[in-house]
Structure 1
Amino acid sequence: MRYSSFLFASTASATCLHGLSMFAKRAENAEGGVKIGTFGYNNAANGPFNWATLAVENEACKIGKNQSPINVDDSVKVATDKPKLNIPEQEVEFENLGTTIEVIVNGTTTVAGSEFQLVQFHMHTPSEHHLNGEYHPLEVHMVHQGVADPTQLAVVALMFQVSAGESSSIIKSLSSSVAAISTPGTKTAIPGGIDFSDVLAKIESSDILQYSGSLTTPPCAEGVTFMIVKDPLDISVADFNAIKSVVKFNARYIQNNLGGANMLEVGTLAGTAGAFPVSGNATLELSNGTATEDSASPVMTPGQKFTVTELHGQPTNIAAVVAIRKRKY
């Protein structure tokens, strides 16, 4: 766990860190609004591929080997102990950080005997995690900080599917307030608070998939316990469209298998002699031999013929030839 980079993250306006007491107080601008995040998703300069450049404490974004989000497959185990949430009725603050919208809320959660404080939940559209390759329209992260050890972070991740019926209670509680925070840097109070009854029921009925990953926003610090509620909650078409129009696209790209090379390293080497070997997606039958999943990446030359015999696990037979594309300057 990279807590050394974690502890210097107070200068980063990071979504998952927002509101945590181990960092600087939430900054507000002169008008009393919420400080807008400096990172983004849709711009090459401040997007996920360049997060490590925005601040020195973001180093894990480019070198971490247990980064989130991931494609949650059978290698991710079901948690033996489900989180137990206790969230009292309270007035809450609803904010637009520019990078997401979030609700500041207090509660306590017990995870395998350890106590955590719920400090906020925020939204990603579309979902950041994939479940066996499937993404969902919306993912909510309920962010917790350890009580005895504030360096411990845990996130309960809720998936949502668009429904022809009503939204679940957590969405219905805030849907009428979305328009009030449509502008980044604004906030509003929800006096009636949030109804978590549907969330608690879903946690009780669903499998919880647990793994140790990272923050999905800068500084991408690792050692974060993710507890993903496998079965999705509902969100109505109208509520989803309203939230999507404010949040827009804010999902980090899927990361490598846990323990594997950082995806930025994979991308840097792609197309070079040192590229990471293809695994699980294709088997190339070359004119001078066969490259299998377990072999090193073949060295291919212009004009060499080869046959793709498998794509994404499906039998196929495609004749191909290596070609060089000349760039025009």
Structure 2
Amino acid sequence: MNWVALAPETNSICATGMRQSPINMVDGVFHMVPSSDIKLEIPDFTEGAEFENLGTTVEVVAKGGSLQLSEANYTLRQFHFHLPSEHLDNGTSIAMEMHMVFETAEKDIAVIGVFIDLDNGGSPATEDPIATPTPTAAAKRRGFHLRRQESSIAPSPTGSFGGVQGFLTVPMIKAPGITSPVLETVFSKVGEIKTPGTRTSTPPLAMGSVVQAIMGGSFQSYSGSLTTPPCKEGVRWFVATQKLQISTATFESVRSVIGFNARYPQNTPGQPNMLQLARAQV
């Protein structure tokens, strides 16, 4: 989507940035960060959490949680969902993707991306690109979703990737998806927030089970961007190799509320922006 045309002054990097997200996560290409190299802690939300429809996605407002990357400490702000997945798994779009958004006191951002598949082993998405969303849908993305996720961030980290130690280039090991009671619990309330701007509260969420599941794998890491305007770069991405799963019925209920809200895959980091290439061919 040509977001720069919607707001040229604020969205220009969407069309010019060379480290844009999402991208195709190809086995053996990215640094693998073992779970032992990061410290992820999220308390159980014993009283539930605020769950709201932002018009661009549905989002759970976090009640604590931290991500420690060597000397950098991040606080969990929220987690939200994209349908289908924004990142590709070796060229394949997965049913959904969860983004757990963390932020430092200096407003630097790290995101843990988690693929969500269906518990029958299938996914309604395919390798074929999905149709570009309508201008109305794209315009919505410039709204409420930005207030929590899209704050100012530092320049793109270099070298040791801004504080993460012990990067390894190791063979990719992918385990079967793990059914997530937490996601099922969250999405059991999605019917209560069908209208943008509405909110509800979830039942208690045992977030420790989510941490345990995704920390059972490793993480593909790269320096990318926010996937919605203003597309600022310098975001530290950690895409989990461990997938979570939900039932087909749950997926369909979520799809009925949020529809399509995924940005199309961008070029490999460091390559020219897709929109620049497209303009050059016109």
TM-score (norm 1): 0.64
Match of 1:103 in 2: 60
Comparing 198-207 with 261-270, which one deviates more in the overlay? 198-207
The answer for unaligned runs of 5 or more in structure 1 is: 1-47, 273-329
The answer for unaligned runs of 5 or more in structure 2 is: 122-177
| Structure 2 residue corresponding to 1:195, chosen from 189, 196, 206 | 206
Match of 1:76 in 2: 30
Q: 1:195, CA displacement in angstroms?
A: 2.2
Residue 56 (structure 1) aligned with residue 9 (structure 2): yes
Q: 1:83, CA displacement in angstroms?
A: 4.1
Match of 2:234 in 1: 223
Q: How many residues align?
A: 221
Q: Partners in 2 of 1:137 and 1:185 — Cα distance?
A: 24
Q: Partners in 2 of 1:55 and 1:83 — Cα distance?
A: 39
The DSSP-based 3-state class of the residue aligned with 1:66 is coil
| Structure 2 residue corresponding to 1:87, chosen from 43, 46, 53 | 43
What amino acid does structure 1 have at the position aligned with 2:250?
Answer: D
Q: 1:225, CA displacement in angstroms?
A: 0.4
Would the aligned equivalents of 1:82 and 1:203 in 2 still touch at CA under 8 Å?
Answer: no
Match of 1:142 in 2: 100
Q: 1:113, CA displacement in angstroms?
A: 3.7
Q: Partners in 2 of 1:64 and 1:100 — Cα distance?
A: 24
Q: 1:267, CA displacement in angstroms?
A: 1.2
Residue 125 (structure 1) aligned with residue 55 (structure 2): no
Would the aligned equivalents of 1:169 and 1:197 in 2 still touch at CA under 8 Å?
Answer: no
| Structure 2 residue corresponding to 1:155, chosen from 111, 117, 120 | 111
Q: 1:157, CA displacement in angstroms?
A: 0.6
Residue 239 (structure 1) aligned with residue 250 (structure 2): yes
Match of 2:269 in 1: 258
Q: 1:100, CA displacement in angstroms?
A: 0.6
Cα RMSD (Å) of the superposition?
1.8
Would the aligned equivalents of 2:44 and 2:205 in 1 still touch at CA under 8 Å?
Answer: no
What amino acid does structure 2 have at the position aligned with 1:159?
Answer: F
Q: Partners in 2 of 1:88 and 1:196 — Cα distance?
A: 5
Give the greater-gyration-radius structure (CA).
1
Q: Partners in 2 of 1:189 and 1:253 — Cα distance?
A: 31
Instruction: Sort the Cα spacing of 1:252 and 1:194 in 2 relative to 1 into closer, same or farther, 3 A.
Output: same
Residue 169 (structure 1) aligned with residue 181 (structure 2): yes
- The higher-RCO structure (CA 8 Å, 6+ apart) is 2
What amino acid does structure 1 have at the position aligned with 2:25?
Answer: V
The DSSP-based 3-state class of the residue aligned with 1:68 is coil
The DSSP-based 3-state class of the residue aligned with 1:102 is strand
Would the aligned equivalents of 1:96 and 1:102 in 2 still touch at CA under 8 Å?
Answer: yes
Q: Partners in 1 of 2:194 and 2:4 — Cα distance?
A: 25
The DSSP-based 3-state class of the residue aligned with 1:197 is helix
Q: Encode CA deviations 1:63-84: one digit per residue, 9 max, x unaligned.
A: 1000000001232110152341
Q: Partners in 1 of 2:61 and 2:69 — Cα distance?
A: 21
